[in-house]
Amino acid sequence: MNIGEAAGASGVSAKMIRYYESIGLVANVARTEAGYRVYGASDIHTLRFIRRARDLGFSVEQMETLLALWSDRTRASADVKRVAETHIAELERKMKEIEGMAKTLRHLVHNCHGDGRPDCPILEDLSHGLEAAPVKPAKARRRAA
């Protein structure tokens, strides 16, 4: 099947298939004399694996590790479990960060009157964040200086 059909069968867009090929996550597939990619059942199976791993939030590097473990029939399941446990810890850390952001925003929204007055604790808080971060000059300004 061609790349469009492979995309439809795997749930991975043609653009992402090309990207995964370009970074070596998936092997280059056979091509016709006209240069069109030709995908087989094994390629679709691999793309579906990648799609599921991506749906679970694994990074490209983690997917590369998982693909290597998947193809290694002598691997220990403990190695796979370790990758998944590391990913769970990352997800839980991100969830705490997101919960903290939501809590802060809830507080700011609660304290915003939402009326016609210009005072706004949301914008006030955001502007304080700008003061805390150092401002780096733009590249164009550095060259001119």
Residue 27 within any structural domain of the chain? yes
Residue 108 within any structural domain of the chain? yes
Same domain, 11 and 53: yes
Is pLDDT above 60 for 133?
Answer: no
* pTM (2 d.p.): 0.76
Q: How far apart are CA 131 and CA 134, in angstroms?
A: 7
pLDDT tens profile 38-96: 999 999 999 999 999 999 999 999 999 999 999 999 999 999 999 999 999 999 999 99
Closest of 5, 33, 29, 32 to residue 18, by C-alpha: 29
**At 142, is the pLDDT very low, low, confident or very high (cuts 50, 70, 90)?**
very low
Structural domain range at position 100: 90-135
| Mean pLDDT within 119-138 | 75
Residue 85 within any structural domain of the chain? no
Residue 63 within any structural domain of the chain? no
Residue 9 C-beta-side C-alpha neighbours within 13 Å = 15
Instruction: Give the model's pLDDT for residue 21.
Output: 96
Give how many domains the chain has, as a whole number: 2
Domain with residue 6: its CATH number is: 1.10.1660.10
